[in-house]
Amino acid sequence: MEPYRVDCDDLLNFVVKLQRFAERAEEATEDADKIIMSLHESWSGEAASAQMAHHQMWTRAASEMHGALDDLRKAAQFAHNNYTGAVQTNSEMWPKV
């Protein structure tokens, strides 16, 4: 059986990348909303209604993704804090050889 290892720097980098991705996704969603709202100022009818319904579905899905990314980021940050805390505690408990 292979020993269990965690690279705390990689874990922290993952947290940072998740945060950046979530921010870019949020910006893209806001940009899309602005474009869609602008489009619907001069567009009406059955096609416009269908497009708006689809956009609302997409917006809900984007919101769910944002929530899931936030949960994942928090879990990874929590794990990083626990691992680095354990390393710190163990280092303080045992004398350096």
Cα separation of 92 and 97, whole Å?
Answer: 12
Cα separation of 68 and 77, whole Å?
Answer: 14
Cα separation of 9 and 6, whole Å?
Answer: 9
Cα separation of 11 and 95, whole Å?
Answer: 27
pLDDT value for 97 = 65
Dihedral pair phi/psi, residue 95, rounded to 5°: -70, 150
Taking the whole predicted model, whether its pTM rises above 0.85 is answered as: no
Domain ranges of the chain: 8-92
* CATH classification for the domain delimited by 8-92, as one of 1.10.287.1060, 3.40.50.300, 3.30.1280.10, 2.40.40.20: 1.10.287.1060
pLDDT value for 4 = 83
- Mind listing the pLDDT tens digit for each residue in 4-48? 888 989 999 999 999 999 999 999 999 999 999 999 999 999 999
Mean pLDDT of 67-73: 94
Q: Where are the beta strands (DSSP E) in the chain?
A: none
